[in-house]
Amino acid sequence: NAGVTQTPKFQVLKTGQSMTLQCAQDMNHNSMYWYRQDPGMGLRLIYYSASEGTTDKGEVPNGYNVSRLNKREFSLRLESAAPSQTSVYFCASIRTGGFSSYEQYFGPGTRLTVT
């Protein structure tokens, strides 16, 4: 199992450009998440998808859109990048439904710089 994979690993954008961050998991998990990580601020939830076909806003959704393409894939889109979106982005997945642990499995991250 590859676990959670993310592409690309690094990206530099100019202000106003758009891009899509890709995430896929092969663990048959129902729920998937997008976080951003900034120095001194931990991980902040951007959007999540509790199950295929549903998406919901997290703590910091402004400037982002998401698509749950199927059970495996959950993409994050920046329509018009801004310097404030410079961050490291992590995708995660979680198995849900009657388990004692809600462990989140994280991808390796995408380091995005907006100039």
Partner 1 sequence: GENVEQHPSTLSVQEGDSAVIKCTYSDSASNYFPWYKQELGKGPQLIIDIRSNVGEKKDQRIAVTLNKTAKHFSLHITETQPEDSAVYFCAASTTGGFKTIFGAGTRLFVKA
Q: CB of 20: closest distance to partner 1 in angstroms?
A: 19
Alpha-carbon gap, residue 35 to 42, rounded angstroms:
10
Which residues in the 49-108 window bind partner 1 by CB under 8 A?
50, 58-59, 90, 92, 94, 96, 100-104, 106-108
Neighbour tally for 104: CB within 10 Å: 17
Alpha-carbon gap, residue 113 to 86, rounded angstroms:
5
* 17 vs 45, beta carbon nearer partner 1: 45
* 47 vs 114, beta carbon nearer partner 1: 47
- Token readout for 62 is 């402004």
What 3-state class would DSSP assign to 85?
Answer: helix
Interacting residues toward partner 1 by CB under 8 A: 4, 31, 40-45, 48, 50, 58-59, 90, 92, 94, 96, 100-104, 106-109
